[in-house]
Amino acid sequence: MNAIFLMVLGMGAMLLGYFFYSRFIADKIYRLDPNYVTPAHTLRDGVDYVPTNRFVLWAHHTTSVAGAAPIVGPAIAVIWGWGPAFLWVTLGTVFFAGVHDMGAIWASVRNQGKSIGTLAGGVVGARGRNLFLVVIFLLLMMVNAAFAVVIANLFVSTPSSVIPVWSAVIVALVIGQLFYRYKVGLLWPSVVGLAVLYTLVIVGNSYPVLLPDGLLGLSARSLWILILFVYCGIASMLPVWMLLQPRDYINGMQLAIGVLLLFVAVLIGAPDIVAPMFNDNVPSGTPGIFPLLFVTIACGAISGFHGLVSSGTTSKQIDKETDARFIGYAGAVGEGMLALAAIIACTAGFASLVEWESIYDTFGGGNVAAFVQGGDAILSNGLGLPDDLGATLLATMVVLFAATTMDSGVRLQRYVIQETAELAGVRIGGVIGTIIALGFCLALAFGAGEEGTGGMLIWPLFGTTNQLLAALTLVILTVILVRLRRPTWMLVGPLVFLLLMAIFGLLVQLRQFYEAGNWLLLGLDVIILVAALWVALEAVTAIRRGGSLEPEAGEEEQQ
């Protein structure tokens, strides 16, 4: 089958979801109010609470939630065939992710920008909130540690991406000053910033940067991990307008251009999909598709991390409540299209089935490298890009997304630490909170594995924990809607499905970890499983008990 058919079908379904389904959800279920005064205005502090142009915030939100996961997940999952991955990405984006992301923003906006974990206290009680925060903290630790390893590996394997990636930080700082200090419009800084960034991609392709092994007794990968965490610690404490927003804005435009280039190359080159629709000849040792497909592809279909970003940083920057539809649902569509591009690159970017099978000879063998290699071939054949330039472009895109997620992830982890400390009656400042967050991530990266590989040791739990958190976020939103006496069917279906898949996945992994004698992951698996089941039971009890929410979330007249 030709890749054009897959591209048009996927894009068409996602766009229909945004123009029709998201409008119904926004108007009839969440009842977004353009006159509601958001926390960005009522709590404005110039650091975290900043009213933001919706296009800039869309870019920040989309690139923060995207990271490398909507590429990594589909790139691995197509080993079962492109059909299941395509269906889950498309249906998940339309009926799961958009509703989840928009709802998390709405609930947080109605509660002074509180994170979904803290908000849980007013919905399922103190015990449920505390258990929810445990799951959130563990997920953030996994994300930050694992993405540091992903980025470091790409810096080592594709050193041509180093110059454009780090230069993007300087470009973002300049654009932030132009936007907020000098009140320059969006157009020219955007055009010039993108031109500089793509020029630097060409420069980086000609001048790769390699760190020496053995410096300070560390491998090049370990050095990059340390550098990344130092950068993220600094970036997470800067005002959002100074670096985070403009960096994400540039990355958001780059996402749009990168996906557009891939899709245009597909239209021109018309590559055939060489991978099977359903793969009956999977390599030995490949786990069963059920329930692993639904936790392998998280970002790009639905992801609990989205709820953390939606309620952690995005809700604090929403200018008008109605912007939640464009930022939340359209942000999910943007990530879904990136996942669609990854599926096409990993199934139509190879010359033959034999070549594809040589990449997918083991489970996990097709990863970011398959996306970069396949995408490079599509760009070269469709657009005539020079050899390896497409690979540099795509590797830069992946690193910038992952780094953006780390920026937001460390900031979110600091929020969780500060909010948890406040619940205990202790006040922790931004610097101390950031140091604590970095300490946990570095301990995982270096303490659980050699040469900074610990972040990937815990990766098997990332997918299940991520989907579990998405289900628990939907649980919180469902309780809110029940108490507001609004329909809940559009949330109940996704949350039941996700809860079953995530718990099933945790039980499967529990057996695997026990048989392998991996006591670290076994212990974490048990903690996450018990916490999730407890939160779900607390939610059921809360629904039966009835009652009302905190004033801002529950007063119908505010709608």
Over residues 481-503, mean pLDDT? 89
Q: What is the pLDDT of residues 77-100, one digit of tens each?
A: 999 999 999 999 999 999 999 999
Residue at 463 is within a domain? no
C-alpha 237/C-alpha 48 separation (Å) is 9
Please check the confidence at residue 452 and state whether its pLDDT lies above 60. Answer: no
Please state, rounded to an integer, the average pLDDT across all residues of the chain: 85
Residue at 555 is within a domain? no
Q: Which has more confidence, 522 or 5?
A: 5
pLDDT band at 551 (very low <50, low <70, confident <90, very high): very low
237 CB-contact burial (10 Å; exposed 0-12 / middle 13-18 / buried 19+): middle
Q: How many CB atoms lie within 10 A of CB 483?
A: 17
The beta-strand segments (E) located in 403-521 are none
C-alpha 324/C-alpha 295 separation (Å) is 26
Over residues 229-246, mean pLDDT? 84
Q: What's the confidence (pLDDT) of residue 457?
A: 61
Q: How many CB atoms lie within 10 A of CB 450?
A: 10
pLDDT band at 455 (very low <50, low <70, confident <90, very high): low
Q: What's the confidence (pLDDT) of residue 547?
A: 46
pLDDT band at 554 (very low <50, low <70, confident <90, very high): very low
Tell me whether the omega of the peptide bond preceding residue 291 falls within 30 degrees of 0, making it cis: yes
Residue at 382 is within a domain? yes
Q: Which of 93-102, 131-140, 415-424, 547-556 has the lowest mean pLDDT?
A: 547-556
Distances (CA, A) of 322 to 51, 109, 112, 149: 13, 11, 16, 37
Looking at residue 291, which CATH number applies to its domain? 1.10.4160
Q: Which has more confidence, 553 or 520?
A: 520
End-to-end CA distance of the chain: 48
C-alpha 34/C-alpha 265 separation (Å) is 40
Domain holding 174, by residue range, is 3-455
Residue at 368 is within a domain? yes
Q: Are 49 and 319 in contact (CB under 8 A)?
A: no
Closest C-alpha to 505, from 284, 285, 296: 296
Q: What's the confidence (pLDDT) of residue 556?
A: 42
Q: What's the confidence (pLDDT) of residue 133?
A: 79
Residue at 329 is within a domain? yes
C-alpha 149/C-alpha 143 separation (Å) is 10
Distances (CA, A) of 98 to 19, 254, 336, 353, 398: 12, 21, 10, 34, 22
DSSP string, 218-237: --HHHHHHHHHHHHHHHHHH
Closest C-alpha to 310, from 336, 332, 295, 340: 332
Closest C-alpha to 345, from 286, 403, 398, 304: 398
Q: Would you give the distance in Å from CA 547 to the centre of its chain?
A: 34
Over residues 256-281, mean pLDDT? 92
Residue at 229 is within a domain? yes
Q: Which has more confidence, 476 or 30?
A: 30
C-alpha 201/C-alpha 218 separation (Å) is 28
Q: What's the confidence (pLDDT) of residue 418?
A: 85
Number of compact structural domains in the chain: 1
Please check the confidence at residue 137 and state whether its pLDDT lies above 70. Answer: yes
Over residues 231-248, mean pLDDT? 83
Residue type, 186: L
246 CB-contact burial (10 Å; exposed 0-12 / middle 13-18 / buried 19+): buried
pLDDT band at 549 (very low <50, low <70, confident <90, very high): very low
Residue at 487 is within a domain? no
Residue at 526 is within a domain? no
What crossing angle do the helices spanning 98-109 and 330-348 adopt, rounded to 10°?
A: 150
Length of the chain: 559
Residue 182 has which token pair? 């000098």
Q: What is the pLDDT of residues 149-193, one digit of tens each?
A: 878 888 888 888 899 889 888 988 998 888 888 888 777 888 888
Please check the confidence at residue 422 and state whether its pLDDT lies above 90. Answer: no
